Chain A
């Protein structure tokens, strides 16, 4: 596609359930980033990928959070046993990588844990 695509755009889930968020980056972009944004707040770095490898996972809030990227393209962010404090907008971005970090963002997934 022409831009970064995230799905679903909105997700309401019950506390304790697992959720999977998907990100389709721009074709050819080797770098992919996940961020979390709570209402009115800044972007909290979660994880980024260079190809299929994640050089930095330091931002993942707990071991309930995991992410993978396959084929150097699609990435999924999984949150297990969701908690109310996980409610936020999850943003994905991609860039060409290799020194070019101009990031293109998807529209985000708004996750609400009830």
Chain B
């Protein structure tokens, strides 16, 4: 079973536009992370937000966390063709178990 669910499942935008995707989870968490995956192989860590934080920025990425709604959002600003990838949220609990959602496939066209 998966802890998180991303929305939308797929997103198609043009270069320069912003991409927003959401993640909802079911149980209490320590941290929430976002990862990116190219070509169906290894994932790369993008950003981590702790359960006591509400917003975090890293470059063109902005992540929000609402623990009362058990949801998070990832915003990619000024998207580029190179941002084309699948994006996954992941949550970990106090035991350190790291679980991933189903992912959002983002396609950025030039």
Q: Do A and B come from one complex?
A: yes
Q: What residues of chain A have their CB less than 8 Å away from a CB belonging to chain B?
A: 4, 31, 33, 35, 37, 39, 41-45, 48, 50, 55-56, 89, 91, 93, 95, 97, 99, 101-108
> Main SS of the interface on chain A?
strand
The answer to whether B98 touches A103 (Cβ under 8 A) is yes
Q: How far is the CA of A44 from the CA of B102 in the complex (A)?
A: 9
The answer to whether B98 and A91 touch across the interface, beta carbons within 8 angstroms, is: no
Closest to A89 in B: B40
Interface residues on B, range: 20 to 34
Contact A101 B92 (CB under 8 A): yes
* Whole-angstrom CA separation of A4 from B42 in the bound complex: 10
Residues of B within 8 A of A (CB): 2, 30-31, 33, 35, 40-45, 48, 88, 90, 92, 95-103
Label chain B's interface by main secondary structure: strand
Which 5 A-B residue pairs are closest in the complex by CB-CB distance? A42-B102, A105-B42, A43-B100, A101-B92, A105-B43
- Whether A44 and B96, one on each chain, are in contact in the complex, defined by CB atoms closer than 8 angstroms, is no
Q: Can you report 11 A-B residue pairs in the complex whose CB atoms are below 8 A from each other?
A: A35-B100, A42-B100, A42-B103, A45-B98, A56-B97, A91-B42, A101-B31, A101-B33, A102-B33, A102-B48, A106-B42
